[in-house]
Amino acid sequence: MARSMVISPRRSDALVEDCRRNPQERHFLVYPILFTYRHAIEPAMKWILTMYGGQAANDIAHHNLWELWKLCREVIDAVGDQDGAINIVERIVKQMHDLDKSALAFRYGIDKNNKPPKLPEGLYDPENIRDVMKGVGHFFDGTDGMLSDLAGGSP
């Protein structure tokens, strides 16, 4: 049976709302916002792999989003992608992975040299980040539902 996996953690949404009310906060809150959304992507992919990935589920005891994505992509490609959304989600997962490869950069907001993680210019629109991540969440929800249906209602 499909499990809802919308990537919209309440904490991130609350932080985004705080940024909307207090725009000066977005430069400080961008790190915990990205951390919680990055963290939400990881279990979404691990769920897909655990429930539908067969042997691929044996290789998920890590935090490498890109490696998890490649395994997820194999599972999804095996049944087909009707609307091409997989390529968009792939770019988003890759960007999130490239920003924080170890799942630690956004957690602490500083690196081992006491410097904040390097973010690309223009990545400080928390409402856009939230909206994009909701779209990613809908992709994983839909993928879970599709795979569950193909498995006969239960993985």
> What does the alpha-carbon distance between residue 106 and residue 87 come to, in Å, rounded to a whole number?
25
Q: What is the pLDDT of residue 9?
A: 67
Closest alpha carbon to 148 in 1, 49, 31: 1
Q: What is the pLDDT of residue 8?
A: 54
Q: What is the pLDDT of residue 24?
A: 86
DSSP 83-128: SSHHHHHHHHHHHHHHH-TTS-HHHHSS-TTS-PPP--TT---HHH
Give the dihedral sign, CA 115/120/122/123: negative
155 residues of the chain, pLDDT tens digit each? 445 455 556 788 889 999 999 988 888 888 889 988 998 999 999 999 999 999 888 989 999 999 999 999 999 999 876 678 999 999 999 999 998 888 877 887 777 778 777 777 765 789 999 999 999 999 999 999 999 999 886 55
> What does the alpha-carbon distance between residue 49 and residue 61 come to, in Å, rounded to a whole number?
11
Please give the structure tokens belonging to residue 98: 């490239």
Give the dihedral sign, CA 92/95/99/101: positive
Give this prediction's pTM. Answer: 0.85
Give the three-state DSSP class for 11: helix
Q: What is the pLDDT of residue 2?
A: 47
Q: What is the pLDDT of residue 71?
A: 96
Q: What is the pLDDT of residue 154?
A: 57
Instruction: Identify whether the C-beta of residue 89 lies closer than 8 Å to the C-beta of residue 66.
Output: no
